[in-house]
Structure 1
Amino acid sequence: MLILPSRRQFLTGLGAGAGLAAATGVYAFDVEPMHRLVVTSYAPALPNWDPGLRLRVAVLADFHVCEPFMPFDRVAEIVDATNALKPDLVLLLGDYPAGKIAWRKLPLDQFARMMEDLKAPLGTHAILGNHDWWDDKAVQKARRGPPAVKGLLEARGIPVMENQALRLTKDGRPFWIAGLADQQPFEDVWTSVSYADVPRTLAAVTDSAPVILMAHEPDIFMDVPDRVSLTLAGHTHGGQVRIFGRSPAIRKIYGHDYSYGHVVQDGRHMIVSGGFGMSRIPMRFGVPPEIVLLELGQPNPAIAGA
């Protein structure tokens, strides 16, 4: 026998559903994107890695500075949290301005000054993302770069790598960091123009030391050879909405899910950061803003067991 709910039960259920929807909305549009900050740790066993090279790397992606979604006090919080981790090296993966979701854009020269406050013995190194190009209207009009933020960061002692590689040493053991130019520099033709050049970038690597490759968009992982120990990417924001381990807003690349986290494909490794900011829709759900912390080499047991 079918028993229908009473009017009181129906209204109670309707009210509960509306309350849950409202609470979820507050969380997704305010709490998670603007107030949460997590450290996501990885201690992967990497190919072509010197096991005696222990390296602690903080990876920061997709700030998208603007008001009200990424104000400078939030940036300062991220800088302080990163410094507290005491990394050997800090890597910035691009997308510093916010783009179209910004209610008010913030000056990128002040953002660059705040990046100068990051502390790491091996320095802070950066690449550019698509929004660094798209948000620079002079660059879009001229159809050529570099975007202004590149010079602003470099004026603060932060190298911005575009198809370049740099050899560094930790405790007498060498390694390389390499940075690709952006794959989507022009907003209106982003599907057909890419400045990223993997062969040119790796041609600058002159010995067998391990290579960490920075690429803003993870799509290029298909073209990264196994000479590279680890590729780091951002861009996706983890899909901004992640449910049951899936990011429905991010398309697969030739059947591969590059939306978020540690990807292993044909023995090659990539870690995609969820980053900090947002684009298109100012919400995050199930993928809180994160600092990625890498413990490379002999793993830290506390992190390896996390």
Structure 2
Amino acid sequence: MKKFVLFSFVSLLVLGVSLTVYGFFIEPKRITVKHHELGENNGQNSIRLLQLSDIHLQKNYSIEQLEKIVAAVNEEKPDIVAFTGDLFDNFANYGPVEETAALLSRIEAPLGKFAVWGNHDYGGGAVNAYAQLMAAGGFKLLENTGEMIQTSNQKNLYLSGIDDSLFGSPSIESAMSYRTDAAYSVLLSHEPDVVEPAVDFDVSLILSGHSHGGQVNIPFFPVTTALAEKYISGFYSLGDQTELYVNTGLGTSMIPVRIGVPPQIVVFDLYI
């Protein structure tokens, strides 16, 4: 009996140490790529839209990691890249502007690179640098605005974005007011729980982040955050024609740990 108790104790100790090492030092530095096809494939070329979210650059998730992210993005050969916010975790503590902009500028997307504000893009002094940094990196910052994109099959895709919902002044109505004749509409919103009104504007796809998927996957006890309590990760149907995808992001915040929620880049092949 004593041997069994000792064996159980040692096993639990080894498991705990292993999970700690994995959660703090291995999984957070992984980069996984998820692929999804949306729309009806009738032999037409797809529009490859790649989503990045919640990079949270910081001292333990630095420029070297961003370089790996950029390389992984370019391997996917996206037509469009969309960043749904939170570039730095705390800009005041770690905010290398020139190096970050230089790396972002290396991302290749012939139909455009777009971004929206996240809540961390306002904090720590980031509000004074984020817009200029993204512009230097070749990203168009969508602040309750949108842009019509003509695709190779002569069909227009409308890509819009709203301001951050915690510290900004978001307006889905304003963002959608720039749309004219579009075969497909995409809305970027950092926080997912605020996007249900987009159904009234016939948005095809909404891309969000913010939740980090909880960072730690605890069965039956989801870890949530403000404005990402209802929609936490993956696909959700909003009405008959609108889908929401919540990206669990790349970096971490608060505690630099991920267990069962590996960092992700998401690729959507849109058939329109």
Q: Determine if the TM-score, normalized by the shorter chain, exceeds 0.5.
A: yes
Instruction: Give the TM-score of the pair, scaled to structure 2.
Output: 0.91
Deviation at 1:109, TM superposition (A): 3.1
Partner of 1:304: none
User: Matched residues in 2 for 1:129 and 1:212: separation?
Assistant: 17
Structure 1 portions without partners, runs of 5+: 1-5, 138-145, 186-193, 299-306
In 2, are the aligned partners of 1:98 and 1:131 still within 8 Å (CA)? yes
- Kindly tell me: are residues 164 and 53 of structure 1, through their superposed partners in 2, closer, same or farther at Cα, counting changes over 3 Å? farther
Which residue identity is paired with 1:166?
Answer: E
Partner of 2:244: 270
User: Residues 1-306 of structure 1 correspond to what in structure 2 (within 5 A)?
Assistant: 6-34=1-29, 36-45=30-39, 52=44, 54-68=46-60, 70-99=61-90, 105-136=94-125, 147-171=128-152, 172-185=154-167, 194-226=168-200, 227-244=202-219, 248-250=222-224, 257-267=230-240, 268-297=242-271
Rg (Cα) greater in structure: 1
Which residue identity is paired with 2:234?
Answer: G
Superposed CA deviations along residues 112-139 of structure 1, whole A, max 9, x for unmatched, are: 22110001111211111000001227xx
Which residue identity is paired with 2:238?
Answer: Q
User: Matched residues in 2 for 1:252 and 1:152: separation?
Assistant: 27
User: Matched residues in 1 for 2:172 and 2:16: separation?
Assistant: 46
- Kindly tell me: are residues 123 and 252 of structure 1, through their superposed partners in 2, closer, same or farther at Cα, counting changes over 3 Å? closer
Instruction: Give the TM-score of the pair, scaled to structure 1.
Output: 0.81
Percentage of identical aligned residues: 30
In 1, are the aligned partners of 2:194 and 2:227 still within 8 Å (CA)? no
- Secondary structure at the aligned position of 1:66 is classed as coil
- Secondary structure at the aligned position of 1:64 is classed as coil
Superposed CA deviations along residues 142-198 of structure 1, whole A, max 9, x for unmatched, are: xxxx5421112113332111000101111122111101111011xxxxxxxx51101
In 1, are the aligned partners of 2:103 and 2:137 still within 8 Å (CA)? no
Runs of 4+ in 1 over 3 A off after TM superposition: 49-53, 251-254
Q: What's the C-alpha RMSD, in Å, of the aligned pairs? A: 2.4
Deviation at 1:83, TM superposition (A): 0.2
Q: Which has the higher strand share?
A: 2
